[in-house]
């Protein structure tokens, strides 16, 4: 059995990020305090950051959404079309758990999955691997070979699966999203918006099998006869804070850093989505500010009934 532990250099980088995150938390109290003193209220659907007076973030687009109601609590360029990189895999995983009743079923790795760009677990054509292990590779390692194998298993080919992704996006009302593949590897006509990414995350987190996969920071992916790969998530936010329970990061030269994050901060379930952050450190710093801001907003009051 081959295990692939994290390198010391990688551990060092992660600890530096954790220290930075701790310093960022110190600033959160001041941010929340300012919002409360000025009586900040939840913005109307689709309003801009400038209109709401929310915290400044370096992401090109960002949204904070109430996970229970879908209300938008913060919006910056919420409907702008932007690349999403590996946040694409949120839809891929959601469709798999919706379409495959038995996650212990086995898929055969197609030749198209081998030698692709991006992260991999180094599957070989003809390998047999369970859907559950493919999902672990997909969402924890962000493996392209797992994405293509899952797409082929569900729809017969990756292009056919991309069509299914777009049909599901339309059903969910994701008007500013279009998929061209299952992995998010750079390709034309593949984009989302911060609002759509947050809503997709909100819907996906309702599924218990999806939640079980995306909460994981580490996993061991195995397949016959004796293959074993230890994988570690790039989601530092999920790794660092117990109140965060997923979901997915993405990064590419074009998309920069992307994030959809789910968490219960100070008793309020929230989804934060950021697109085109300059780096992972800024991504986490901005996400923490957005969680704090969202948790401080007044909750909606149910309409009175006769």
Q: Look at the block and give the residue holding tokens 């599924």.
A: 207
99 is annotated as an active-site residue: no
Helix ranges (DSSP H) in the chain:
8-37, 49-52, 89-99, 131-136, 144-155, 158-171, 194-204, 208-214, 236-240, 280-296
Give the separation between CA 89 and CA 82, rounded to whole angstroms: 15
Tens-digit pLDDT profile for residues 4-22:
344 445 455 555 554 545 5
| The pLDDT of residue 241 is above 80 | yes
Given 89, 130, 183, 193, which residue is catalytic?
89
- Taking residues 130-140, report their average pLDDT: 98
Tens-digit pLDDT profile for residues 198-220:
999 999 999 999 999 999 999 99
pTM, two decimal places: 0.83
The mean-pLDDT minimum among 25-29, 30-34, 198-202, 234-238 falls in: 30-34
pLDDT at residue 299, rounded to an integer: 87
State the pLDDT confidence band at 283, using cuts at 50, 70 and 90.
Answer: very high
Domains of the chain: 8-296 (3.40.710.10)
Average model confidence (pLDDT) across the chain: 86
183 is annotated as an active-site residue: no
Given 130, 142, 183, 193, which residue is catalytic?
142
pLDDT at residue 66, rounded to an integer: 98
pLDDT at residue 13, rounded to an integer: 53
pLDDT at residue 186, rounded to an integer: 81
Given 86, 130, 193, 262, which residue is catalytic?
86
- Taking residues 84-110, report their average pLDDT: 98
86 is annotated as an active-site residue: yes
Give the separation between CA 235 and CA 232, rounded to whole angstroms: 9
pLDDT at residue 12, rounded to an integer: 53
> Per DSSP, what are the bridge partners of residue 37?
none
């Amino acid at each position: 059995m081959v295990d692939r532990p994290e390198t010391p250099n990688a551990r060092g980088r992660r600890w530096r990020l954790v220290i930075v995150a701790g310093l960022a938390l110190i600033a959160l109290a001041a941010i929340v305090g300012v919002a409360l003193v000025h009586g900040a209220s939840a913005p109307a659907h689709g309003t801009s950051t400038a209109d709401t007076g929310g915290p400044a973030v370096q992401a090109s687009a960002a949204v904070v959404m109430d996970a229970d109601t879908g209300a938008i609590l913060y919006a910056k360029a919420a409907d702008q079309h932007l690349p999403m990189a590996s946040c694409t895999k949120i839809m891929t995983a959601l469709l798999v758990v919706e379409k495959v009743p038995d996650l212990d079923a086995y898929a055969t790795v197609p030749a198209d999955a081998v030698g692709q760009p991006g992260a991999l677990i180094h599957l070989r054509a003809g390998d047999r691997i369970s859907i559950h292990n493919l999902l672990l590779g997909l969402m924890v390692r962000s493996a392209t070979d797992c994405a293509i194998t899952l797409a082929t298993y569900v729809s017969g080919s990756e292009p056919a699966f991309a069509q299914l992704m777009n049909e599901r996006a339309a059903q969910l009302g994701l008007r500013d999203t279009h998929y061209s593949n299952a992995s998010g590897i750079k390709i034309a006509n593949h984009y989302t918006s911060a609002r759509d990414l947050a809503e997709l995350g909100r819907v996906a987190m309702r599924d218990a099998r999806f939640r079980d996969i995306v909460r994981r920071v580490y996993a061991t992916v195995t397949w016959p006869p004796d293959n074993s790969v230890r994988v570690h998530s790039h989601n530092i936010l999920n790794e660092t804070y117990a109140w965060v329970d997923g979901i997915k990061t993405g990064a590419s030269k074009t998309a920069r850093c992307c994030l959809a994050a789910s968490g219960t901060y100070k008793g309020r379930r929230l989804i934060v989505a950021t697109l085109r952050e300059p780096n992972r450190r800024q991504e986490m710093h901005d996400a923490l500010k957005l969680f704090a801001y969202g948790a401080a907003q007044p909750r909606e009051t149910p309409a009175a009934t006769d």
